[in-house]
Each structure stands twice: as structure tokens, then as C-alpha cells.
């Protein structure tokens, strides 16, 4: 599957520390496991998690690749300099480093492409004209889809009506109870809830007017739904 190039915006270099904390928490990793993924010592990772050391932008992008997030690119936003910085005699720096912001990660964002269902018939396209931003940090490749029919529109409880936009993470394992994008052999991809009964996996619509079907041999799971947004 081809990667879709996205970007994560880091307003300040210190945001990498908060970004890494969130990755560790969301993936339920110990500091040792995180260090192994990054190809570092626990001590080095500890400095980043505590915010006592700051990596260069080049290092951040190298570590994103180590984490398997090769479709992400760290960037630094352009901000206004302080008045004192503009009047200070330049020595190659803009003054002392800013302190780590506790809420820094709130400003990190991810842009993922909005694809059509037709795009799912073959390899995912490398580019898309439309993107949507979110704070969700993916485990793998990710993209948005618009729900096209009422098969997941339930009378009560969990419901995904037609017109809603769903975010799909291809890096998550399809597990019973999750909403997934599945593609049966020789058929178009569909949005369904994956269930398991009597040792057999099935694709269940939330709308009871549609049939529940068995997962045939060769059924492919393209990703797991992680966000549902309305569009107006």
C-alpha cells in the first residue's frame, strides 16, 4: 500500500516532547519499549519525555520514521520574534529557549486526505485534492471517507448516518466490535461492524434492514474507524 504524505505541525520545538508523551500513552508503551522503537537508550528518551533536551528538526523526522510514521513530517511554524529579540545584537540565536508548554500538544495537528469509495478498489492514491485536519495521531496510514448510504444508520445506539465523514486508520488491527472498512473478494469495500459468533467473523450493518454476512476467505480489512465527524 502506498503511503499518503501528511504533516504534523509543531509550533515550537518543545512540542516534540509532548508529542512523544502522547505517542507513548496512546500506544501503551513502557519507556524501554519506546526507546527500542526509537533506537535509543532509556536515558536519552527520558530527557525528551522530561523536556530537558530538545532534538533538532532533522532528528525529529528521523525518529518519526523509526516509529513507522514515515508519512508524517515535522515542521516549525513561523512566529513573531519578541521585541527584545529584534533589538538584541545577533549572535546566531534569538535568545534563550522558550520553556516547555504543558498544553503544547494541543497545537499539534494532522492532515489526512479525503478519499472516495472508488479509491478503495485498488491501491490508495498518493495524492488527494481535499484534506481534513484532526488531532488524532495515527498508528498507520489514515484517510477520510464520506458515508454514502444508510446501512450504518441505526434506530438507536451507535449510528453512522449517511453524509458523516469517518477517519480510517490502516495501522490498527480489526477486532470484533470495531467499525471497519472491509472488502470481500470480488466486491466493493463496505463500512460494517466486525462481530464474531461461534468462532466465525461476520460483517454486521447497524441498520437492521441490511443483512449480516460472513467474512469470506480472503476478506480484506482496509482499516478501523477511529473518528466520526458530521459535515454541514
> Along the chain (232 residues), what's the average pLDDT of each consecutive run of 10 residues?
49 68 87 92 92 85 78 56 37 32 47 91 82 81 93 92 94 95 95 96 96 96 92 58
216 assigned to some structural domain: yes
- 125 and 74 in one domain? no
- Contacts made by residues 74-83, CB under 8 angstroms, sequence distance 24+: 74/7, 74/8, 74/10, 74/16, 75/7, 75/8, 75/9, 75/10, 76/10, 76/11, 76/12, 76/13, 77/9, 77/10, 77/11, 79/11, 79/12
Q: Which domain holds residue 69?
A: 8-80+104-108
In this predicted structure, what is the pLDDT of residue 82? 41
Residue located via cell numbers 525518529: 63
In a domain, 221, yes or no: yes
Q: Is 221 left (phi over 0), alpha (psi -120 to 50) or beta?
A: beta
Nearest to residue 64, comparing CAs of 88, 84, 37, 85? 37
The pTM (predicted TM-score) of the whole model is 0.60
User: 118 with 185, same domain?
Assistant: yes
Residue 89 lies in a domain: no
Within this chain, do residues 71 and 141 fall inside the same structural domain, yes or no?
no
Q: Say if 95 falls within a structural domain.
A: no
| Residue 144 shares a structural domain with residue 219 | yes
pLDDT at 151: 96
- My answer on whether 56 and 123 are in the same domain is no
Residue 214 located in a structural domain: yes
Q: Are residues 124 and 76 part of one domain?
A: no
Task: For residues 139 and 53, state if they share a domain.
Answer: no
CATH number of domain containing 215: 2.10.109.10
Residues 58 and 15 in one domain: yes
Residue 202: predicted pLDDT = 98
- Report if residue 98 sits inside a domain: no
Instruction: Specify the pLDDT at position 83.
Output: 36
Q: 3-state class of 86 per DSSP?
A: helix
Give dist(CA 64, CA 43) in Å, integer: 19
| 76 and 127 in a common domain | no
Say what the pLDDT of residue 31 is: 94
Total of domains in the chain: 2
The pairing of strands 110-113 and 131-134 is: antiparallel
Same domain (yes/no): 118, 203: yes
Q: How much is the pLDDT for 57?
A: 81
Residues 175, 132 share a domain = yes
pLDDT at residue 165, as a whole number: 95
Residue 69, in any domain of the structure: yes
Same domain for 225 and 118, yes or no, is yes
Is residue 212 domain-resident?
yes
Amino acid at each position: 500500500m502506498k503511503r499518503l504524505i501528511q504533516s504534523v505541525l509543531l509550533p515550537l520545538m518543545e512540542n516534540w516532547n509532548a508529542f512523544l508523551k502522547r505517542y507513548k500513552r496512546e500506544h501503551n508503551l513502557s519507556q524501554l519499549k519506546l526507546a527500542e522503537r526509537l533506537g535509543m537508550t532509556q536515558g536519552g528518551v527520558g530527557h525528551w519525555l522530561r523536556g530537558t533536551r530538545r532534538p533538532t528538526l532533522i532528528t525529529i523526522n528521523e525518529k518519526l520514521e523509526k516509529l513507522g510514521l514515515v508519512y508524517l513530517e515535522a515542521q516549525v511554524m513561523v512566529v513573531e520574534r519578541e521585541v527584545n529579540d529584534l533589538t538584541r545584537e545577533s549572535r546566531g540565536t534569538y535568545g534563550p529557549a522558550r520553556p516547555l508548554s504543558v498544553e503544547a500538544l494541543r497545537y499539534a495537528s494532522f492532515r489526512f486526505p479525503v478519499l472516495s469509495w472508488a479509491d478503495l478498489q485498488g491501491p490508495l492514491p498518493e495524492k488527494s485534492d481535499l484534506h481534513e485536519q484532526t488531532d488524532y495521531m495515527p498508528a498507520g496510514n489514515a484517510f477520510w471517507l464520506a458515508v454514502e448510504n444508510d446501512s450504518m444508520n441505526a434506530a438507536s445506539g451507535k449510528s453512522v448516518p449517511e453524509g458523516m465523514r469517518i477517519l480510517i486508520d490502516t495501522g490498527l488491527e480489526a477486532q470484533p466490535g470495531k467499525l471497519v472498512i472491509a472488502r470481500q473478494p470480488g466486491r466493493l469495500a463496505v463500512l460494517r461492524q466486525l462481530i464474531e459468533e461461534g468462532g466465525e467473523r461476520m460483517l454486521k450493518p447497524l441498520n437492521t434492514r441490511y443483512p449480516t454476512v460472513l467474512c469470506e476467505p480472503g476478506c480484506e480489512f482496509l482499516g478501523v474507524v477511529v473518528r466520526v465527524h458530521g459535515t454541514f
